[in-house]
């Protein structure tokens, strides 16, 4: 096996890396899915969402970027997709025309021309790699397996999973998730979690399938130490020393490796995660769960830092699945519905700045009976769903209505009785998440087929 290490400035490498779809088919935990009501339940009057927003988080002076990358030349969008009229809604998916650039990317992947990447950030609603895992499996089956994708160095919470390459911390790291607002500089990496060494810290991964491409995402810091990398049977060493804080990537093309290791060797080190991908035209779906995060916590990202992180990943679609934790603040009147709408828009703006042309999709919250210790009912849930939809529309994003897919008002009790909702009265079970993922995947694939002028039944 051979690997190649490349270093160059990201200012000179604008096209980013190809994103992959890690595919993992998870078995449904229930034998039958509950019936899904087609009608949308009555909702309170929708709150207004301001037409413009300012991102209210001050950032430090822009950090220098040192990138290690091999980029692919961008391929011009498929003209056939851009000419096909698209319906406004497909199932519970609205704003379908806003996904046109994503469908163009899928068309290029299907033609064998390019890779398609999806970055999916969310709260505990996407934990255990379940909702992203089901979506990944469906789209990978259709467009090819791009590999596990972006993976953290450890478990910031007990429900973090990367099912195709779960991290195993041999010597622990100090973990700082954005949900805890523990980095004053706002540099948390793409996954929203920064890992700092405690002397000699070490993580190992074993991919379920061999991969061709390996990256380490980390920071250059003053008095920085070194990172010792193991790629299959090969050893590499990377310096983390820098006069000032900067974003860095170490990129290696490998031949069918499955075992990987990142270890700190002396000095200060901050690492954000790794990327495992397969070469070629295929799909990658990153599942980046931030358990406990409120929507507004993503505004703790330093603007220039997260802009570079997104640009480096080069996704064709950004998916955001937040809002469940915000329900407790709504119930306790710590935040208003219009304020949540403003925060949602500001988060989309901040993340999309790294690639303004990428499509985006907001998934609404599921029905709840509780959030934290606060009791929740439709009077809290429906205004949040409405304002998430309005914020998505205002930012040119599609919206998937999970609440409607469940059956609307009173659906949590029905799903609970069928084993599709959890007894914590907040979350869906694996079986419930599978139902939601299947409905979203069906809608995406049907809309894609329409964009290509095909009968969706052929997909």
- The predicted-structure confidence for 403-427, as pLDDT tens digits, reads as follows 999 999 999 999 999 999 999 999 9
Give the span between the Cα atoms of 437 and 432, in whole angstroms.
9
Give the span between the Cα atoms of 97 and 447, in whole angstroms.
9
The β-bridge partners of 64 are 246
Q: Which residue has the tokens 């970055």?
A: 119
pLDDT in tens, 311-323: 999 999 999 999 9
pLDDT, averaged across the chain: 86
pLDDT of residue 456: 57
CATH of the structural domain 4-24+58-458, one choice from 3.40.50.300, 3.40.630.10, 3.10.20.90, 3.40.50.1110: 3.40.50.1110
pLDDT in tens, 62-87: 344 444 433 333 444 444 445 689 99
The alpha carbon torsion through 458, 84, 77, 459 (nearest 10 deg) reads: -10
Residue 298 pLDDT > 60, yes or no?
Answer: yes
Give the span between the Cα atoms of 383 and 390, in whole angstroms.
10
337-352 helix and 378-394 helix, angle to the nearest 10 degrees: 40
Residue 306 pLDDT > 50, yes or no?
Answer: yes
pLDDT in tens, 216-229: 999 999 999 999 99
Residue 211 pLDDT > 50, yes or no?
Answer: yes
Average pLDDT over residues 162-174: 94
pLDDT of residue 383: 98
Residue 92 pLDDT > 50, yes or no?
Answer: yes
pLDDT of residue 426: 96
401-437 in b/e form (b: 16+ CB < 10 A) is bbbbbbbbbebbebbbebbbbeeebbbbbbbbbbbbb
pLDDT of residue 39: 37
Residue 457 pLDDT > 60, yes or no?
Answer: no
| C-alpha distance from residue 81 to each of 19, 42, 142, 272, 361 (Å) | 21, 35, 17, 36, 18
Q: Which residues contact 28 (CB under 8 A, 6 or more apart)?
A: 430, 431, 434, 435
Q: DSSP character for 332?
A: T
pLDDT of residue 210: 96
pLDDT of residue 364: 98
Classify residue 138 as exposed, middle or buried by CB count within 10 Å of its CB (0-12, 13-18, 19+).
Answer: buried
pLDDT of residue 1: 44
Residue 264 pLDDT > 50, yes or no?
Answer: yes
Question: Which of the four pLDDT bands, split at 50, 70 and 90, describes residue 163?
Answer: confident
Give the span between the Cα atoms of 110 and 19, in whole angstroms.
14
pLDDT of residue 266: 84
pLDDT in tens, 122-148: 999 999 999 999 999 999 999 999 999
pLDDT of residue 193: 98
The β-bridge partners of 275 are 150, 215
Q: How far apart are the first and last CA of the chain?
A: 37
pLDDT of residue 275: 98
pTM: 0.84
DSSP reduced 3-state for 141: helix
Give the span between the Cα atoms of 28 and 9, in whole angstroms.
45
pLDDT of residue 199: 86
Tell which wins on pLDDT, 266 or 287.
287
pLDDT in tens, 355-399: 999 999 999 999 999 998 999 999 999 999 999 999 999 999 999
CB 290 within 8 A of CB 192: yes
Average pLDDT over residues 326-332: 96
Average pLDDT over residues 5-21: 35
Give the span between the Cα atoms of 48 and 186, in whole angstroms.
30
CB 264 within 8 A of CB 227: yes
Taking Cα atoms as reference points, which of 145, 274, 264, 294 lies closest to residue 199? Answer: 264
């Amino acid at each position: 096996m051979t690997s190649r290490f490349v270093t160059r400035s990201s200012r000179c490498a604008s096209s980013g890396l190809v994103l992959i779809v890690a595919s993992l088919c998870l078995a449904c935990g229930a034998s039958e899915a509950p019936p899904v009501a087609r009608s949308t339940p009555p909702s309170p009057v929708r709150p207004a969402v301001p037409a413009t927003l300012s991102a209210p988080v001050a950032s430090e002076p822009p950090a220098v970027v040192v990138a290690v990358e091999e980029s692919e030349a961008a391929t011009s969008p498929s003209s056939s997709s851009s000419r096909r009229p698209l319906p406004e809604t497909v199932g519970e998916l609205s704003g379908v025309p806003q996904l046109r650039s994503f469908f163009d990317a899928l068309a290029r992947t299907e033609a064998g021309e390019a890779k398609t990447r999806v970055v999916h950030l969310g709260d505990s609603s996407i934990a255990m790699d379940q909702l992203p895992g089901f979506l990944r499996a469906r789209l990978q089956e259709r467009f090819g397996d791009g590999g596990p994708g972006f993976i953290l160095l450890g478990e910031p919470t007990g429900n973090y999973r990367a099912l195709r390459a779960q991290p195993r911390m041999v010597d622990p790291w100090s973990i700082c998730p954005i949900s805890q607002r523990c980095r004053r500089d706002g540099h948390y990496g793409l996954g929203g979690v920064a890992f700092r060494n405690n002397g000699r810290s070490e993580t190992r991964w074993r991919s379920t399938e061999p991969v061709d491409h390996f990256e380490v995402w980390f920071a250059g810091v003053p008095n920085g130490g070194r990172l010792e990398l193991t790629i299959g049977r090969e050893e590499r060493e990377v310096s983390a020393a820098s006069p000032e804080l900067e974003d860095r990537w170490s990129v290696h093309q490998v031949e069918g490796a499955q075992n990987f290791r990142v270890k700190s060797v002396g000095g200060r080190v901050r690492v954000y995660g790794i990327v495992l991908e397969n070469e070629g035209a295929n799909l990658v779906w990153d599942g980046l769960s931030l358990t406990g995060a409120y929507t507004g916590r993503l505004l703790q990202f330093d603007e220039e830092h997260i802009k570079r992180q997104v640009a480096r990943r080069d996704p064709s679609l950004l998916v955001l699945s937040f809002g469940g934790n915000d329900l407790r603040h709504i119930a306790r009147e710590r935040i208003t519905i219009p304020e949540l709408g403003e925060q949602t828009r500001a988060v989309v703006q901040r993340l999309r700045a790294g690639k303004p042309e990428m499509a985006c999709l907001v998934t609404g919250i599921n029905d709840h009976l509780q959030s934290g210790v606060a009791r929740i009912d439709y009077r809290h849930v429906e205004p949040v769903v409405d304002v998430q939809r309005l914020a998505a529309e205002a930012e040119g994003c599609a919206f998937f209505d999970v609440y409607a897919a469940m059956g609307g008002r009173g659906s949590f009790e029905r799903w609970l009785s069928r084993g599709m909702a959890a007894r914590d009265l907040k979350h869906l079970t694996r079986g419930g998440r599978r139902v939601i993922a299947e409905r979203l995947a069906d809608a995406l694939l049907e809309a894609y087929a329409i964009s290509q002028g095909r009968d969706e039944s052929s997909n």
